[in-house]
Amino acid sequence: MTLEPIEELSHTADVGFRLAADAPSCLFRLAAEGLRQVLGHEAAPDVLEEEAIRLERPDTERLLVAWLLTLHEGGERRGAGPAPISLELDREASGAARLDARVAWHRRATDPVREIKGVTYHGLEVREREGRWEATVVLDL
């Protein structure tokens, strides 16, 4: 058997999830849970700290990416997982969006089973369809 000098190996470097909810703010709450599920760690019941988070972006899609990046980076710094306590989402006619949230950071009871490098814009979508809100998010592993 002769080996080629370069052989392309197929692998999956991304993982994604779809969300569906009755309101856009519920999508953001579900996105936090989706992030936890992708990481695969369990949260301990004890709260390390609570944090107020305010984010503003030109549109809901970029706001969702910023939200997930904030949660991921905050969790990495603390060795903790986020649990949204409260979450308010305001959207303007121009499309701009603002998120005001309060998050409880729970110590991780188990180590993550995956590492996430980042949140991508690949396949990113937030939309309303027939009274339901849907989002698609892809994370870079």
Going residue by residue through the chain, which has 141 residues, state the pLDDT in tens, using 9 for 90 and above: 555 555 554 456 788 888 899 999 999 999 998 888 888 877 778 888 999 999 999 999 999 999 999 999 999 999 888 999 999 999 888 889 999 999 999 988 877 778 888 898 888 999 999 999 999 888 888
Q: Residue type at 140? A: D
Flag whether 85 is in a domain: yes
What is the CATH number for 43?
3.55.10.10
pLDDT given for residue 44 in this prediction: 78
Split into its structural domains, the chain has a count of 1
pLDDT given for residue 6 in this prediction: 53
Q: For residues 64 and 50, give the distance between their C-alpha atoms in angstroms, rounded to a whole number.
A: 20
pLDDT given for residue 61 in this prediction: 95
DSSP for residue 41: -
CB 114 within 8 A of CB 15: yes
pLDDT given for residue 110 in this prediction: 79
Flag whether 7 is in a domain: no
Burial of 69 (0-12, 13-18, 19+ CB in 10 A): middle
Flag whether 9 is in a domain: no
Beta bridge partners of 108: 43
pLDDT given for residue 102 in this prediction: 97
pLDDT given for residue 52 in this prediction: 97
pLDDT given for residue 105 in this prediction: 94
Burial of 94 (0-12, 13-18, 19+ CB in 10 A): exposed
Q: Residue type at 64? A: L
Flag whether 39 is in a domain: yes
Domain residues for the domain of 72 are 18-140
CB 114 within 8 A of CB 38: yes
Flag whether 99 is in a domain: yes
pLDDT given for residue 50 in this prediction: 95
Flag whether 112 is in a domain: yes
